[in-house]
Amino acid sequence: MKTILVTGGMGFIGSHICVSLLEQGHQVIIVDNLCNSNKEVLNRINQITGKAPIFYSVDLLNEEALSAVFKRHNMDAVIHLAALKAVGKSSQIPLSYYHNNVSGSLVLLKVMEKYEVFNLVFSSSATVYGAKNPIPYVEHFPLSATNPYGRTKVMIEDILQDIFHADSRWNISLLRYFNPIGAHPSGLIGEDPKGIPNNLMPFITQVAVGQRDRLSIFGGDYPTPDGTGVRDYIHVVDLALGHLKALEKLMASSVKSISAYNLGAGKGYSVLNVVSAFEKASGKEIKYSITSRREGDLAEFFADVTKANNELGWQVSRSLDEMCEDAWNWQRKNPEGYS
Ligand code: NAD
Ligand code: UD1
């Protein structure tokens, strides 16, 4: 049994990672300031696993409070998810994004160094491949970003490379997520966006429960088979299991390293593919209109997942149909999310 700190563990992806960690017998400590999550998540994690994580309502920017958590618990590793993630908002309030994501990571790294916790799994994103790389994306491609949110991820990856090269006690896994959707099959935890959803799946599920009138499909004239955008959707439970594999590898190897891994399914689906898979899973009609393209969107991207397959022994096992069934199960049982 290991003691794992999960920053942002109350959020969409973090809550699923906490469930997987608890199910594998680890002790889980969550640090989250609840800026985009709800305390009810703790009860739900408990209902699924019969176990409770230890929760601290702490902001990563608060070095003193974060240090106190490290002082109290002997951490074996940290999974660092805590971040702001809305791409559009990041262009409106870039300072808040840089401060929260980059400064928050710096505080965490400083405290980890002080308490000599050097195993780190970092939540990166496919957005670090920028707009110019060919598809599928491979880990060695050059990184760039097209918006402040994406730049925070590139900056943090750069910072992690620098600290690893300066001090070889660090042992770091950079996990680049593609498009996580779906929910735990229990329907007890899932994605609960505040306000109008920016991402496709939560918008679709809100149309299905009647909270939104219709989906706007951003662009029907892309050079893709049906003209709509193509993405690499991954079930959030498969994504969570990828973190366990990355953690196992970090802890098992005697040689310290820094490695990036794409976590995706390795294939693309269009917006219309997702809409029809969701209609099949839910039995609901999803009304939509094709509107203009969303600024900053790419026509198509998906992952090359060879490295994660070979080095982590990880691959997805849940289909697009299961992603839609589980997203629908969550939304149907929790039409208002956690509140
Ligand atoms: P989320 O908003 O549901 O979870 C993030 C959690 O971090 C929230 O609970 C929030 O309250 C917390 N948090 C934010 N800033 C904090 C701070 N300063 N101190 C303490 N807690 C703080 O988002 P998510 O979808 O679960 O994403 C988790 C991570 O994965 C993020 O780093 C995100 O950038 C990354 N990621 C997400 C996606 C996606 O599509 N969801 C894709 C690629 C990468
Ligand atoms: C978005 C972010 C990206 C981030 C990723 C995962 C943007 C520009 N990019 O990517 O940085 O890493 O989320 O969090 O926001 N779509 C619609 N209608 C909608 C919503 C989406 O047609 O209401 C389409 C999009 O145009 C896209 C696809 O659905 O083709 C998926 O969109 P989304 O879920 O927002 O993810 P990404 O755009 O891939």
**Residue 235, token pair as written in the block:** 């079930």
What's the whole-number mean pLDDT along residues 159-178?
98
What's the whole-number mean pLDDT along residues 230-255?
97
**What integer pLDDT is reported at residue 37 of this predicted model?**
97
Q: Is the distance from the beta carbon of residue 32 to the nearest atom of ligand 1 less than 6 Å?
A: yes
Task: Tell me, in angstroms, the distance from the centre of ligand 2 to residue 174's CA.
Answer: 21
Task: Tell me, in angstroms, the distance from the centre of ligand 1 to residue 82's CA.
Answer: 5
What's the whole-number mean pLDDT along residues 103-120?
98
Burial class of residue 255 in the structure, from the number of CB atoms within 10 Å of its CB (0-12 exposed, 13-18 middle, 19+ buried): exposed
**Mutation test residue for ligand 1: of 31, 81, 90, the one with most atoms within 8 Å of CB:** 81
What residues are annotated to the active site?
A: 149
DSSP letter for each residue of 280-291: HHH-----EEEE
**Residue 50, token pair as written in the block:** 């019969």
pLDDT at 81 over 90: yes
Ligand 2, atom nearest to 294 Cα: 26
pLDDT at 213 over 90: yes
Q: Which residue, judged by its Cα, is nearest atom 13 of ligand 1?
A: 82
Q: Is the distance from the beta carbon of residue 119 to the nearest atom of ligand 1 less than 6 Å?
A: no
**What integer pLDDT is reported at residue 160 of this predicted model?**
98
Label residue 183 by pLDDT band (50, 70, 90): very high
**What integer pLDDT is reported at residue 3 of this predicted model?**
98
Q: Which ligand is nearest to the CA of 263?
A: 1
**What integer pLDDT is reported at residue 284 of this predicted model?**
97
Rounded to the nearest angstrom, the gap between the alpha carbon of residue 49 and the centroid of all alpha carbons in its chain is 21
What is the rounded distance in angstroms from the CA atom of residue 293 to the CA atom of residue 295? Answer: 6
Cis peptide, bond prior to residue 142, ω within 30 of zero: no
**What integer pLDDT is reported at residue 339 of this predicted model?**
86
pLDDT at 139 over 90: yes
Per-residue pLDDT tens digits for 262-320: 999 999 999 999 999 999 999 999 999 999 999 999 999 999 999 999 999 999 999 99
Beta-sheet pairing, 269-270 with 230-231: antiparallel
Helices 104-114 and 63-72 pack at an angle, to 10 degrees, of: 40
Cβ proximity of 259 and 174 under 8 Å:
yes
Q: Which residue, judged by its Cα, is nearest atom 34 of ligand 2?
A: 199
What's the whole-number mean pLDDT along residues 318-326?
98
Cα angle value 239/240/241 (rounded, 5°)? 90
Identity of the residue numbered 213: D
**What integer pLDDT is reported at residue 253 of this predicted model?**
87
Rounded to 10 degrees, the C-alpha dihedral 183/184/189/191 comes to -10
H helix or E strand, kind and range, residue 259 = strand 258-263
